[in-house]
């Protein structure tokens, strides 16, 4: 594998950081550093970065890091942070185009402002469009891929391809290649087909959804949303609560007292290892007491170890 230290770049326009804390790029505000952290200026700049770091393998991707735990030992190789508040949003040919770095709530409001309906659920998902595509994020009956007309994908070669939903096997919080090939690229943009309807009602519904979230989720404390997928016909939160685990703590991590499927980092002092150990403990207790094996929804990346410099 290519060594990181002698690596220099040509013509990049984004921000490059070496051994930078990734805690600041995840909503849990925990975890280690990335060897080479890159915030691309735009999709062409990302393509140039991918081409120039080919020897390191594909970068680890973070959008808003709202579904990701970075272990304390950090991430080797390259990490690309794709959140881009200035990313493009547009309407053309009855489709809503959004670049991957745009925040999902911004897409929800943009769609409503353009007379589209059913994108409201995205307002409650504090990630990027790219993260919503990778996770098939959803809530309140809505799911990202139900509305995807096509996606643009950046391949390891640095080339862009456009794909359709038929190229993917999409399920509950899961997106894989339809032909069984390993996931091979970075979502850089998508075209969504939302029905036309009452945009004013859609904006009202966004406000209602957000009010419901504020009332039911521990949004004031660092967290990563639902830690576990809901098992068929049941709710992970109900099972965890039934085991008396609300408020249970491990190191600096705690099962939320407000929503049992959330783990919070109340003092911003949790190590990723605390969070990961608490996830494992909750899983074990729920399996022992109820017989249900909960599957994590959050993605865990990086290596075990101590948080590096830069925190
Ligand atoms: C308070 C709160 C509430 C939440 N509520 C919900 C909810 O209701 N429904 C729901 O589904 N989720 C929810 N989540 C989880 C999270 O917001 C979603 O999974 C979201 O889609 C993640 O987006 P992100 O940009 O933060 O992804 P990240 O956490 O940065 O990444 C998640 C995964 O996607 C990959 N990825 C990210 N961007 C790309 C890209 N451009 N191309 C390829 N892969 C990529 C990453 O490599 C990683 O594996 C919630 C989280 C929080 C904190």
**pLDDT tens-digit map of 226-263:** 999 999 999 999 999 999 999 999 999 999 999 999 99
This prediction has a pTM of: 0.96
Note the pLDDT of residue 255.
98
Within 6 A (CB) of ligand 1 lie 27, 61-68, 82, 100, 124-128, 130-132, 134-135, 137-139, 186-187, 217, 219, 223-225, 299
205-232 per-position pLDDT tens digit: 999 999 999 999 999 999 999 999 999 9
| Six-digit token string for 61 | 């991707």
- Our answer to whether residue 173 is catalytic in this structure is yes
- Our answer to whether residue 283 is catalytic in this structure is no
Dihedrals φ, ψ of 34, to 5°?
-105, 135
Taking the CA of residue 188 as reference, the ligand 1 atom at the shortest distance is 41
- Our answer to whether residue 226 is catalytic in this structure is yes
- What is the Cα–Cα distance from 84 to 238, expressed in whole angstroms? 36
| Residues in the chain, total | 311
Q: Which positions of the chain have pLDDT values less than 70?
A: 1-6, 307-311
Residue 87 near residue 101, CB atoms below 8 Å = yes
Note the pLDDT of residue 7.
75
Residue 251 near residue 208, CB atoms below 8 Å = no
Taking the CA of residue 186 as reference, the ligand 1 atom at the shortest distance is 42
Q: Of 99, 226, 276, 283, which is the active-site residue?
A: 226
- What is the Cα–Cα distance from 84 to 184, expressed in whole angstroms? 22
Note the pLDDT of residue 311.
41
Specify the residue with its C-alpha closest to ligand 1, atom 33.
131
> 């996931």: which residue's tokens?
183
Specify the residue with its C-alpha closest to ligand 1, atom 8.
139
First-last CA distance in the chain: 27
- What is the Cα–Cα distance from 169 to 90, expressed in whole angstroms? 27
- What is the Cα–Cα distance from 302 to 74, expressed in whole angstroms? 5
262-291 per-position pLDDT tens digit: 999 999 999 999 999 999 999 999 999 999
């Amino acid at each position: 594998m290519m060594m990181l230290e002698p690596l220099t770049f040509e013509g990049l326009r984004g921000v490059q950081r070496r051994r930078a804390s990734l805690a600041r790029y995840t909503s849990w505000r925990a975890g280690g550093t990335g060897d080479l952290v890159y915030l691309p200026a735009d999709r062409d700049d990302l393509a140039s970065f991918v081409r120039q770091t080919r020897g390191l393998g594909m970068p680890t991707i973070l959008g808003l890091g709202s579904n990701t735990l970075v272990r304390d030992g950090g991430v080797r190789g390259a990490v690309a942070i794709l959140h881009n508040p200035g990313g493009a949003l547009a309407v053309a040919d009855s489709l809503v185009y959004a670049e991957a770095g745009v925040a999902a709530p911004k897409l929800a409001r943009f769609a409503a402002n353009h007379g589209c309906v059913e994108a409201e659920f995205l307002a409650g998902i504090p990630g990027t469009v790219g993260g919503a595509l990778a996770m098939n994020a959803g809530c309140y009956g809505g799911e990202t891929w139900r509305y995807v007309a096509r996606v643009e994908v950046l391949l390891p070669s640095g080339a862009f391809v456009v794909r359709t939903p038929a190229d993917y096997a999409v399920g509950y919080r899961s997106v894989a290649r339809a032909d069984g090939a390993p996931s091979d690229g970075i979502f850089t943009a998508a075209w969504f087909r939302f029905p036309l309807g009452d945009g004013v009602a859609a904006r009202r519904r966004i406000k209602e959804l957000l009010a419901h979230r504020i009332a039911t989720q521990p949004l004031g404390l660092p967290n990563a949303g639902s830690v576990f997928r809901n098992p068929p016909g049941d709710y992970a939160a109900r099972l965890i609560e039934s085991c008396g685990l609300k408020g249970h703590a491990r190191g600096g991590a705690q099962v939320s007292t407000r929503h049992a499927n959330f783990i919070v980092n109340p003092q911003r002092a949790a190590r990723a290892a605390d969070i990961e150990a608490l996830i494992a403990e909750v899983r074990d207790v729920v399996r022992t007491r109820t017989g249900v094996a909960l599957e994590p929804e959050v993605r865990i990346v990086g290596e075990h170890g101590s948080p590096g410099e830069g925190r």
